[in-house]
DNA sequence: AACCGTTCTAAACAAGTGTTTAGACCGAAG
DNA sequence: CTTCGGTCTAAACACTTGTTTAGAACGGTT
């Protein structure tokens, strides 16, 4: 379970406080529903500072996304370096979502709101990996199932609490889920569709 | 591929037009980002009519959700009647999402915005089915993988176009995906985690 | 014809939105 | 000390939001 890729989630100073508050607010409420004043309040800053540092609400949002995308890519990069097996890719994706559940929400919202048009770079490396290592239609079907199974856990997370009898994001539950996913990834590789 | 459950998606008259426009707008933009005026315009109606018929924006949204929830439940009901196998449940869920892609977006947004607190009835039958037919932790893990794999296809749908080389919601692509899901559901049942 | 409740409209309302402005503050350089 | 560029604030800006209001139009009943 890799962590501490050298791309800190936080940043010092006012700019960093704004970025942190924005990531939290955007992931919780979505872009439109988030208010600049709520973000600035939570960062202990004047609303005008957001325009001073970022140029506007939209630009701030894009900064948050680009920030997330950089961390996802770096994570996938080291996974491929470790050997581009389905299990490694699945593990890297799982860890990314597990360690930054905010990001799962944020990326999901972005996908719902803007498709993939708005940030074409966002999933490009992921797509490249998929076509490279899960070629053909059958391979693609398997990849979709695997990555869906990974994402599904975090998407349905709010509902899973009483189903699992424990916090789905607790390290115990996550470890259990992760090992199931790894096993699934191996099982799915030898699966002819 | 069942369809035409006797619960029409449309309704006649002004109230029905508003409901249709609201479902479209809410699923496309989310609750907060949707504007009452946009909905009323698209329904060829005065904004005031929304309050006249529904009592407000929030109440209109709840009407849309309750409407969706009714159709989902009825769909799961007939699947269970057909025999509560994993394949039947998976197929019913797949068909619901395939035939009403709006609903996938709407339910996903609702889950992101409000967890499950806001409409506790929404996923209750689905949860009951899960605990009933996928008992124990291992069974739950399998169910999560299966339903994640189903939902994942529709969630990532905007990205899948160029990956699949065809419209992911075309009947060909859907049929191919569905048969893979059914096969997966059978494979996953005999899978010890 | 006069009355009625229902349906609908146009206009206004207060509150909140993102953004801009004018200027204060402050530490460092000349 | 003065000046200057960067940082920051309070107030105002124009605009959109959801909702309310007063009343018109309509169709059916007495």
Residue A51 lies in a domain: yes
Whether residue B3 lies inside any domain: the answer is no
Query: CA A79 to CA A74: how far, in whole Å?
Result: 9
- Residue A83 distance to chain B (closest CA, Å): 23
Strongest mean pLDDT among A1-10, A33-42, B131-140: A33-42
Residues of A within 8 A of B162 (CB-CB) are 127
Q: Determine, yes or no, domain membership for A142.
A: yes
Token pair listed for A32: 């439109």
Q: Which two tokens stand for residue A142?
A: 């398997």
Decide if pLDDT at B10 tops 70. no
Is residue B19 in a domain?
A: yes
Please determine, for residue A5, whether its predicted confidence score (pLDDT) is greater than 70. Answer: no
Does A145 contact B152 at a Cβ distance shorter than 8 Å? yes
Contacts of A7 (CB under 8 A, 6+ apart): A70, A71, A74
Bigger pLDDT: B10 vs A40: A40
Q: Is A9 on the interface with B (CB under 8 A)?
A: no
B127 part of a folded domain: yes
The 10 Å Cβ neighbour count of residue B25 is: 24
CB A127 within 8 A of CB B163: yes
State which of A101-110, A130-139, A159-168, B147-156 shows the largest mean pLDDT. B147-156
CA to C1' distance (Å), from B120 to C9: 38
**Residue A157 domain-assigned?**
yes
Residue–nucleotide distance: B45 CA to D29 C1' (Å): 29
- Contact (CB, 8 A) for A162 and A193: no
**A187 domain-assigned:** yes
What local confidence, expressed as pLDDT, does residue A40 receive?
Answer: 95
Residue B3 pLDDT grade (very low, low, confident, very high; cuts 50, 70, 90): very low
Residue range B47-73: average pLDDT?
91
* pLDDT above 90: residue A193: no
- The yes-or-no verdict on residue B34 having pLDDT over 90 is yes
Of A32-46, A66-80, A110-124, which gets the smallest average pLDDT? A110-124
Per-residue flag: B49 CB under 7 A of strand C: yes
In a domain, A2, yes or no: no
CATH code, B130 = 1.10.357.10
- Closest nucleotide to the alpha carbon of B14, via C1': C7
Q: What is the pTM of this model?
A: 0.82
Structural domain of A121 = 9-192
Kindly state the tokens that stand for A183: 């096993």
Averaged confidence pLDDT in chain A = 84
Tell me which of A96-105, A126-135, B136-145 is least confident.
A126-135
Query: CB < 7 Å to strand C — which of 8-27 in chain B?
Result: 14
Enumerate residues 122 to 181 of chain B having a beta carbon within 8 A of any beta carbon in chain A. Answer: 123, 127, 130-131, 137, 140-141, 144-153, 155-156, 158-160, 162-164, 176-177, 180-181
- pLDDT band at B19, cuts 50/70/90? very high
Q: Is the pLDDT of residue B115 over 90?
A: no
Report how many domains make up chain A: 1
């Amino acid at each position: 379970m890799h962590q501490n890729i050298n791309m800190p989630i936080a940043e010092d100073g006012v700019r960093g406080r704004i970025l942190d508050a924005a990531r939290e607010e955007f992931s919780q409420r979505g872009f439109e529903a988030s208010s600049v004043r709520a973000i600035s309040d939570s960062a202990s800053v004047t609303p005008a500072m957001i325009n001073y540092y970022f140029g506007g609400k939209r630009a701030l949002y894009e900064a948050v996304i680009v920030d997330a995308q950089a961390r996802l890519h770096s994570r996938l990069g080291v996974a491929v370096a470790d050997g581009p097996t389905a299990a490694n890719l699945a593990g890297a994706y799982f860890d990314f979502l597990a360690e930054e559940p905010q990001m799962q929400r944020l990326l999901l919202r972005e996908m719902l709101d803007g498709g993939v048009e708005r940030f074409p770079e966002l999933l490009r490396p992921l797509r490249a990996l998929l076509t490279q290592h899960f070629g053909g239609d059958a391979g693609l079907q398997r990849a979709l199932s695997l990555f869906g199974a990974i994402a599904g856990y975090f998407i349905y997370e709010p509902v899973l609490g009483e189903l699992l009898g424990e916090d789905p994001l607790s390290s115990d539950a996550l470890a259990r889920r992760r090992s199931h996913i790894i096993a699934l990834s191996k099982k799915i590789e030898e699966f002819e569709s």
